[in-house]
């Protein structure tokens, strides 16, 4: 036990050393040139570059369903920022949500199964039948939102929240409904590992974490944008499993 | 369009104040959820559909549900 503590301390110190090194930007390299007001070339502004998906390469006009092999081939500009240019931030957000779900589970955990006193009355026939029809449709809508995250508005977080809402409705309709918690955990773990694994593979092949190592294809088609759909599927499954476990923890507490 | 924004913001303000004023906590939770719903409509009209979806699913849907569940649980243990 003592050895493990020392080992953990050493690992944390080494990691902290590397993290501190990242802040050490020399002023010659990271010089920032800001043009005066009215003098700046609007073509080179960051927002324009993000819209045309050419932050590193030359700035060209993007035509929907025609342009090929763009830097980030997602038709939805928000997605190309969230899941490609700033996907490390998204990894942080997913981690925060994971910590919140874990903390809630730790606070609300109890050995004995209490009876659920949330639903005072049995759900009415209309509620039960309606949710029986709505449940698969809501799951489908959530999956659609995160699979088409690079084409239409929405993405992993929204799709996961819709899936969690479907499970909430199921809990409301059926008093006896129980979720297999360990299956949720398995989905969550596999999704999280595949997100980080995609990032590490990008680090291995392209030399930067979470870089888009696949071909981006034609903009606007389903199989485009490289690893963005894969990342969004893993985020959607992870967020859906986490929010569902939060709800089931709260209802069963 | 400005009229639409103004009406939406006015509804948000009114329901926000209502959430503070209401005596019953359940009513306050519903009013707070209504603020989120109106905010999501506002985001949609301001051409931010991504944020509107997040606000509608998490702000208006899940947060309200979680608050109601927590309220039920805590009230039940207090009255016993």
Digit-coded pLDDT (tens) for A95-139:
998 899 888 888 887 666 665 555 556 778 888 899 889 999 999
Range with the poorest average pLDDT among A6-15, A37-46, A66-75, A191-200: A37-46
Contact residues on chain B for A157, CB-CB shorter than 8 A: 54, 58
* Cα–Cα dist A172/A146, whole Å: 25
The pLDDT, as a whole number, for residue A30 is 56
More confident residue, B12 or A77: B12
Q: Which two tokens stand for residue A164?
A: 């969690």
Q: Which residue has the tokens 């129980």?
A: A178
Which residues of B touch chain A, with CB atoms under 8 Å apart? 49-50, 52-54, 57-58, 61-62, 65-66, 69-70, 72-73, 76
More confident residue, B17 or A64: B17
Of A76, A117, A165, the CB nearest to B57: A165
Q: How distant, in Å, are the alpha carbons of A34, A114, A154, B46, B66 from that of A163?
A: 45, 26, 13, 26, 15
Determine whether the interchain pair B57/A162 forms a contact, defined as Cβ–Cβ distance below 8 Å.
yes
Contact residues on chain B for A247, CB-CB shorter than 8 A: 62, 65-66, 69
Determine whether the interchain pair A250/B66 forms a contact, defined as Cβ–Cβ distance below 8 Å.
yes
> How many domains does chain B contain in total?
1
What are residue A218's DSSP bridge partners? A68
Q: Pick the residue of A162, A170, A239, A252 with the most B CBs within 10 A to test the interface with B by mutation.
A: A162
The answer to whether A170 and A247 have CB atoms below 8 angstroms apart is no
The pLDDT, as a whole number, for residue A206 is 82
What would the mean pLDDT of A73-99 be, rounded to a whole number?
Answer: 86
* Distance to chain B for A165, nearest Cα, Å: 7
Return the percentage of chain A with pLDDT > 70, whole number.
85
Contact residues on chain A for B49, CB-CB shorter than 8 A: 153-154
For the entire predicted model, the pTM comes to 0.77
More confident residue, A28 or A154: A154
Determine whether the interchain pair A161/B70 forms a contact, defined as Cβ–Cβ distance below 8 Å.
no
3-state SS assignment for residue A209: coil
Determine whether the interchain pair B72/A165 forms a contact, defined as Cβ–Cβ distance below 8 Å.
no
* Cα–Cα dist A72/A232, whole Å: 14
pLDDT in tens, A15-57: 988 888 766 655 555 565 666 666 766 666 677 777 777 777 7
Q: How distant, in Å, are the alpha carbons of A76, A79, A112, B32 from that of A151?
A: 5, 8, 46, 32
The pLDDT, as a whole number, for residue A62 is 78
The dihedral over CA atoms of A196, A197, A200, A205, expressed in degrees to the nearest 10, equals -140
Contact residues on chain B for A155, CB-CB shorter than 8 A: 50
Rg from Cα positions in chain A: 23
The pLDDT, as a whole number, for residue B80 is 40
Question: Which residues have C-beta within 8 Å of that of residue A159, sequence separation ≥ 6?
Answer: A142, A143, A144, A145, A146, A147, A149, A232, A236, A239, A240
B48: nearest CA in chain A? Answer: A153
Question: Which residues have C-beta within 8 Å of that of residue B68, sequence separation ≥ 6?
Answer: B26, B29
B58: nearest CA in chain A? Answer: A161
Residue B40 parent element (H or E): helix B25-45
The pLDDT, as a whole number, for residue B79 is 45
**How large is the angle between the packed helices B25-45 and B2-21, nearest 10 degrees?**
160
Range with the poorest average pLDDT among A16-20, A160-164, A228-232: A16-20
The pLDDT, as a whole number, for residue A9 is 92
pLDDT in tens, A234-250: 999 999 999 998 888 88
Range of the domain at B35: 2-79
Write the DSSP string, A212-227: --S---BTTSSS-STT
Contact residues on chain A for B73, CB-CB shorter than 8 A: 117-118, 250, 253
ipTM over 0.85: no
The pLDDT, as a whole number, for residue A190 is 92
> What mean pLDDT, rounded, does chain A reach?
82
Q: Which residue has the tokens 């923890």?
A: A249
């Amino acid at each position: 036990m003592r050895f493990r503590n020392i080992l953990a301390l050493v690992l944390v110190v080494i990691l902290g050393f590397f993290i501190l090194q990242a802040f050490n930007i020399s002023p010659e390299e990271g010089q920032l040139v800001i043009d005066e007001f009215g003098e700046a070339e609007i073509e080179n502004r960051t927002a324009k570059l993000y819209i045309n998906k050419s932050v590193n390469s030359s700035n060209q006009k993007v035509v929907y369903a025609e342009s090929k092999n763009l830097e980030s081939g997602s038709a939805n500009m928000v997605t190309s920022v969230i899941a490609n240019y700033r996907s490390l931030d998204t990894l942080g957000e997913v981690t925060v949500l994971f910590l919140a779900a874990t903390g809630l589970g730790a606070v609300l955990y109890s050995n004995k199964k209490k009876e659920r006193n949330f639903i005072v009355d049995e759900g009415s026939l209309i509620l039960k039948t309606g949710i029986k029809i709505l449940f698969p449709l809501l799951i489908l809508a959530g999956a659609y939102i995160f699979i088409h995250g690079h084409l239409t508005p929405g993405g992993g977080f929204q799709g996961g929240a819709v899936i969690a809402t479907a499970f909430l409705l199921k809990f409301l309709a059926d008093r006896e409904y129980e979720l297999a918690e360990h299956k949720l955990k398995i989905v969550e773990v596999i999704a999280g590992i595949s997100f980080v694994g995609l990032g590490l593979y990008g680090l291995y092949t392209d030399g930067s974490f979470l870089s888009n190592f696949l071909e981006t294809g034609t903009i606007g088609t389903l199989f485009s944008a490289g690893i963005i759909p894969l990342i969004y599927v893993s985020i959607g499954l992870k967020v859906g499993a986490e929010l569902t476990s939060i709800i089931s923890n709260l209802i069963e507490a | 369009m400005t009229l639409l924004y103004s009406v939406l913001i006015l509804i948000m303000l009114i329901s926000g104040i209502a959430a503070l004023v209401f005596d019953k906590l359940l009513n306050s939770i519903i009013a707070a959820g209504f603020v989120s719903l109106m905010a999501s409509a506002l985001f949609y009209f301001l051409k931010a559909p991504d944020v509107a979806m997040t606000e509608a699913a998490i702000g208006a849907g899940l947060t309200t549900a979680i608050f109601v569940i927590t309220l039920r649980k805590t009230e039940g243990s207090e009255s016993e």
